[in-house]
Structure 1
Amino acid sequence: MLVLAVAVLLADQISKFWALSALSGGEGITVIPQLIQLRLLLNSGAAFSIGEGATWVFTLTTAAAVAGILYVGRRLRSTAWTVVLGTLLGGATSHLLDRLFRAPGFAQGHVVDFIDYGGLFVGNVADIALTGSCALLLLLSLRGVPLGVVADKGDPSA
């Protein structure tokens, strides 16, 4: 799980570094006309820039999600759930790092978005990982696939 999380985090942060250096002049790069364009957007909110004035709420929520995934993930035995939670962890941690350490300040930083999907929304590599892992999480839940966690020795329900 941690290896996958680090891979997602690195891919996202490296692509954001590239976007900040290559797209900061305001120019866009057309990848697929009228479908995909690369353009820089610094997002203080959540998806679709919702909640732009509440960046600190997203910081706290993301930190709690990262802690929860780490707690559950240390006991996983299911490969499918390990992939889901590893991908979620990588995307969430990358967004948390943006919130904590990017301008305008600690715990209020903006997430770097740069993949424009035909004017519908602008996202990044972490968003792709988060969306894909949430879809797989929903599928696993609907199919009743158990987490396969090993109980802690100190857990009274073990």
Structure 2
Amino acid sequence: MTEAPARLPASRYVLFLAPAVLGCLLDLWTKSWTFAHPEQFQGKGWWLWEGHAGIQLSLNEGALFGMGQGQVWLFAVCALVAIVGIPLWLFRYRAAEDSRLTFAMGAIMGGVLGNLYDRMGMHGLTWDRFYAQREGPVYAVRDWILVQWDDRWVWPNFNIADTLLVCGAGTLMLLSFFGERDQPQGDDEA
């Protein structure tokens, strides 16, 4: 008879939930705050560092760099799959034994949740606030962070959820190339 694996420590749940919940809340709060300022609509911006970093509101009906414009529901379905699959993989199939992987997946989950909220139109925005020729509810991700080097090199607007997704994915990539897995609790050999 095989022995049941040891329970995951509570710290693994905290390592996952902290970036997921706090990241999602920070993302939704910053989007709500920035989009509450109508003077930022219609492509206008507010510079924090003149010519390089600021706030400019935009709506993205696609994914990374605006790819897949109009495929909002496809990305929403992918997000729902991730919301189920990530915790299942981490906690049922024990990938959460690695604390760094758990934290990275928590960051990814925070980004997924923040952008899914927008894709579902839960923010309550309507298109006419942005484009007079368009009507109805907005089912798009709210982006607001503007970064550019000069007028020729302008990075596509993004938000905190996007930052969480990129940092989480970057951490996963670094772990896959350079990281050794954490040793599961209780498996130390003396």
TM-score (ref. length: structure 2): 0.70
Q: Structure 1: which 5+ residue stretches go unaligned? A: 151-158
Are the counterparts in 2 of residues 23 and 40 from structure 1 also a CA contact under 8 Å? no
Aligned pairs, number: 148
Deviation for aligned residue 1:137? 0.4
Aligned in 2, Cα 1:36/1:77: closer, same or farther, shift over 3 Å?
A: same
Q: Structure 2: which 5+ residue stretches go unaligned? A: 1-15, 126-135, 149-153, 186-190
Moved more, 20-29 or 120-129: 20-29
CA distance in 2, matches of 1:45, 1:62: 13
CA distance in 2, matches of 1:56, 1:120: 25
For 1:153, the equivalent position in structure 2 comes to none
SS at structure 2 position matched to 1:42:
strand
For 1:91, the equivalent position in structure 2 comes to 111
Are the counterparts in 2 of residues 73 and 82 from structure 1 also a CA contact under 8 Å? yes
Aligned in 2, Cα 1:50/1:114: closer, same or farther, shift over 3 Å?
A: same
SS at structure 2 position matched to 1:31:
strand
Aligned in 2, Cα 1:69/1:53: closer, same or farther, shift over 3 Å?
A: same
Deviation for aligned residue 1:147? 7.3
Moved more, 112-121 or 27-36: 27-36
Deviation for aligned residue 1:149? 7.6
Aligned in 2, Cα 1:148/1:109: closer, same or farther, shift over 3 Å?
A: farther
Q: Give identity over the alignment, percent.
A: 28
- The structure number with the bigger radius of gyration is 2
Q: What is the aligned counterpart of 2:99 among 68, 79, 84?
A: 79
TM-score (ref. length: structure 1): 0.84
Are the counterparts in 2 of residues 55 and 99 from structure 1 also a CA contact under 8 Å? yes
